Amino acid sequence: MLVLERLRDDHAVRLLAFERENRDYFARIIPDRGDAYFEEFAARHASLLADQAAGIDHFHVVVEEGRIVARINLVDVKEGSAELGYRVAEDAGGRGIATFGVREACALARTQYGLKSIKAKTTADNPGSQAVLARAGFIRTGNLTLNGRPAFSYLLELFEVRAR
């Protein structure tokens, strides 16, 4: 069973394992985090939690049977909007985990974090990520360059559901 959890201090060891196990895989898709990320992980994790407590960012992990299989983040919260970012473990791809995590994080954005919209970007050569965004209700809004590659921008408007 998949569960989306807000990032906590006790996730640190499992999150570091997730990042190490998938480093080469992620580096094939997006720029590598670099050695310093791993060497300074404890301090970085504490900083993320501080930013989350301040409402600057909202970090999440998707957990399956105690193992972190994905990260789903809402960062740079400003004026009711945030930027979505996510990554899924290589051995967990193609099972709907990203779609699950993105949908759950977007629901929290509306109901818990008070956000009105979420922005996202993905490279043009990443149809899997494009499909995740489409299934979660994002609308493609434009073309851009991301890490030197052609990419698309997306937007999800979060509307308050009112009882009749």
**Domain segments of the chain as ranges:** 2-157
Structure tokens at 92: 């967990």
User: How large a percentage of the chain has pLDDT more than 90?
Assistant: 90
Confirm if 127 and 140 have CB atoms less than 8 A apart. Answer: no
> Which of 33, 28, 20, 22 has its CA nearest to residue 149?
28
For 21-76, write each residue's pLDDT tens digit: 999 999 888 888 999 999 999 999 999 999 999 999 999 999 999 999 999 999 99
Q: In what order do the strands lie in the sheet with 58-64?
A: 2-6, 58-64, 67-78, 81-88, 117-123, 149-157, 139-146
Is pTM beyond 0.85? Reply is yes
Q: How many CA atoms lie within 13 A of 23 on its CB side?
A: 13
Q: What mean pLDDT value characterizes the chain?
A: 94
- The fold of 2-157 is Aminopeptidase (3.40.630)
Buried b (16+ CB within 10 A) or exposed e, 8-25: eeebbeebbebbeebeee
